Copies of this chain bind each other. A is one copy, B any other.
């Protein structure tokens, strides 16, 4: 009797299976990707989020993980690996560039020595436990990205990874249509496919159009050029380098993450930087502005980034001046729009010319749009379709496309993370749900920021806090002296003296009028003080009474 095949996207209720996904056949488990998510604006103080793999911890499942496949080198697919590897001791299967980028990360976490890597390349066909893996090349905004066909005794499933169909990619290596068609010809039980841009009509433009836009900017710019992009967008960095060499500009690279990524990509042969092209920032200072181009981080407007500090005049070495041309070569991650706009406005304010999407075609997405999705579905012609890598709205949009190309709605599984899709004798169904969710990483702590703490931060962020300390003689019950009121984030203390004296009175009067003690008394003080403050200000700071006896 054949065992069941189970597919389980792991993580919270955000982008399904984007960051981590488990494929099981019988007791054997394969993990695909182990990435981080970035917190939303109201996840206050959180650095990043990793999936909760509670399910894999249970019932000794971790021991049955035969391998971890990483499809490409972006943070949302690799960033949680250091945390996973501490608990799950399984070999990592990935391509050369992805491995190089992961090794940087594991070194920082002091996990490099104990990790077993198997370097694979597109076209490889390997066996891991009961899984026969066939890797195929996909285009994405980083080189050496792959998708994978997974043959099990229960059938063949195809996982696209992040992809687009770029006919003229910068590295000359398009998505492997032939392999997808060949897999399709064999009969695919289920397709798991990237839904990021499933809401976007048409076809995502080729990475190549960016080079034409860069060429025009470089040809016309009189002063310095600054290009902001993601540190991992290796092919974009290649394009800047190519055009810089064409127009005799020296390339300056700033920022630790970008420098490190470039070093690895160049060492492994994924970046071709002509001899003498790259110079240090000090050297660039001795060149004319028209002889330089700077690559910087900060395309999301992150306040600590090089670009943001340049825009506010706070960068130690480089300012922005009239005559500079700044290119923002990245899309806005939802939630970052305000910060990006602010940075653009500030750069304009300092006299720079700023080019960004949609003002100029200086960025294209790395993800397939609707027409490409239809092509993928028609190439693979799966029996079942599981849209992944997207919020529910994107999965829904992707499912609509699948229906258009003839996949019956009942054969499409739109699930959230934690749901189990099970295939039994060629028949698919949703068979249950496993525990899981998100784990917040904040400072050095993993997972100890509870919903309570976040809720407190939210209250504090809105109206601040008021701590009222009152001393009471434990024998006579008399209030000693005046209460001490400490407040931050509520009112500007120096201009709110009357309000705070009133608050002291409210505390004293409540303590005097009540013979209670302990929590009862504290609650009464809290209520009286909260009420007084709301009446006076229409705000609700967090109120914390302290009674010392």
Q: In the complex, what residues of B have CB within 8 A of residue A464's CB?
A: 45, 453, 456-457, 460
Once the chains bind, are A465 and B460 in contact (CB under 8 Å)?
Answer: yes
A24 CB to closest chain B CB (Å) equals 25
Once the chains bind, are A469 and B546 in contact (CB under 8 Å)?
Answer: yes
A14 CB to closest chain B CB (Å) equals 9
Q: With the chains together, A358 CA to B274 CA distance in Å?
A: 43
Mask for A335-369, Cβ within 8 A of B = 1, else 0?
Answer: 10110011011001100001010110000000000
Stretch at the interface among A58-66, A256-264, A443-451: A443-451
Known: A396-B348, A488-B542, A538-B444. Is A338-B341 also a contact (CB below 8 A)?
Answer: no
Stretch at the interface among A292-300, A404-412, A490-498: A490-498
Once the chains bind, are B489 and A442 in contact (CB under 8 Å)?
Answer: no
Once the chains bind, are A548 and B548 in contact (CB under 8 Å)?
Answer: yes
Once the chains bind, are A448 and B44 in contact (CB under 8 Å)?
Answer: no
Q: With the chains together, A461 CA to B546 CA distance in Å?
A: 22
Is A127's beta carbon under 8 Å from chain B?
Answer: no
A388 CB to closest chain B CB (Å) equals 15
Q: With the chains together, A359 CA to B197 CA distance in Å?
A: 12
Interface positions, chain A 454-499, Cβ under 8 Å from B, are 456-465, 467, 469, 471, 484, 486, 488-492, 495-496
A338 in complex: contacting residue of B335, B445, B496, CB < 8 Å: B335
Once the chains bind, are B348 and A393 in contact (CB under 8 Å)?
Answer: yes
Interface positions, chain A 166-209, Cβ under 8 Å from B, are 199-201
Once the chains bind, are B453 and A490 in contact (CB under 8 Å)?
Answer: yes
Q: In the complex, what residues of B have CB within 8 A of residue A548's CB?
A: 469, 471, 484, 548
Known: A453-B464, A461-B44, A489-B453. Is A200-B484 also a contact (CB below 8 A)?
Answer: no
Is A392's beta carbon under 8 Å from chain B?
Answer: yes
A243 CB to closest chain B CB (Å) equals 23
* Closest B residue by C-beta to A488: B456
Known: A358-B199, A442-B539. Is A45-B463 also a contact (CB below 8 A)?
Answer: yes
Once the chains bind, are A344 and B393 in contact (CB under 8 Å)?
Answer: yes
Is A544's beta carbon under 8 Å from chain B?
Answer: yes
Is A282's beta carbon under 8 Å from chain B?
Answer: no
Known: A345-B392, A348-B393, A392-B345. Is A358-B200 also a contact (CB below 8 A)?
Answer: yes
Q: With the chains together, A354 CA to B396 CA distance in Å?
A: 9
Known: A45-B462, A453-B492, A461-B460. Is A397-B359 also a contact (CB below 8 A)?
Answer: yes
Q: With the chains together, A476 CA to B442 CA distance in Å?
A: 42
Once the chains bind, are A486 and B471 in contact (CB under 8 Å)?
Answer: no
A503 CB to closest chain B CB (Å) equals 15
What is the interface size of chain A, counting residues whose CB is below 8 A from a CB of the partner?
A: 68
Q: With the chains together, A211 CA to B251 CA distance in Å?
A: 53
Quick one: which of A354, A443, A471, A539 has the most chain B CB within 10 A? A443
Q: In the complex, what residues of B have CB within 8 A of residue A445's CB?
A: 491, 537-539
Is A75's beta carbon under 8 Å from chain B?
Answer: no
A178 CB to closest chain B CB (Å) equals 33
Is A432's beta carbon under 8 Å from chain B?
Answer: no
Once the chains bind, are B492 and A201 in contact (CB under 8 Å)?
Answer: no
Once the chains bind, are B199 and A359 in contact (CB under 8 Å)?
Answer: yes
Is A283's beta carbon under 8 Å from chain B?
Answer: no
Q: In the complex, what residues of B have CB within 8 A of residue A490's CB?
A: 453
Once the chains bind, are A488 and B460 in contact (CB under 8 Å)?
Answer: yes
Q: With the chains together, A359 CA to B459 CA distance in Å?
A: 35
Quick one: which of A396, A458, A464, A484 has the most chain B CB within 10 A? A464
Is A391's beta carbon under 8 Å from chain B?
Answer: yes
Known: A41-B338, A344-B393, A548-B469. Is A539-B443 also a contact (CB below 8 A)?
Answer: yes
Mask for A137-154, Cβ within 8 A of B = 1, else 0?
Answer: 000000000000000000
Once the chains bind, are B450 and A492 in contact (CB under 8 Å)?
Answer: yes
* Closest B residue by C-beta to A492: B450
A64 CB to closest chain B CB (Å) equals 30
A337 in complex: contacting residue of B335, B484, B495, CB < 8 Å: B335
Is A334's beta carbon under 8 Å from chain B?
Answer: yes
Q: With the chains together, A486 CA to B456 CA distance in Å?
A: 13
Interface positions, chain A 479-523, Cβ under 8 Å from B, are 484, 486, 488-492, 495-496
Q: List 13 A-B contacts (CB under 8 A).
A: A45-B464, A199-B358, A334-B337, A335-B338, A345-B393, A443-B539, A444-B539, A448-B491, A453-B491, A459-B489, A460-B465, A465-B488, A484-B546
Which A residues contact B (CB, under 8 angstroms)? 13, 40-42, 44-45, 199-201, 334-335, 337-338, 341-342, 344-345, 348-349, 354, 356, 358-359, 391-393, 396-397, 416, 442-445, 448-450, 452-453, 456-465, 467, 469, 471, 484, 486, 488-492, 495-496, 536-539, 542, 544, 546, 548
Additional 17 contacts, C-beta under 8 A, given A334-B341, A444-B536, A467-B486: A44-B461, A44-B462, A335-B338, A341-B393, A354-B393, A356-B393, A444-B537, A444-B538, A444-B539, A445-B491, A449-B492, A457-B461, A458-B461, A460-B460, A465-B465, A467-B467, A484-B548
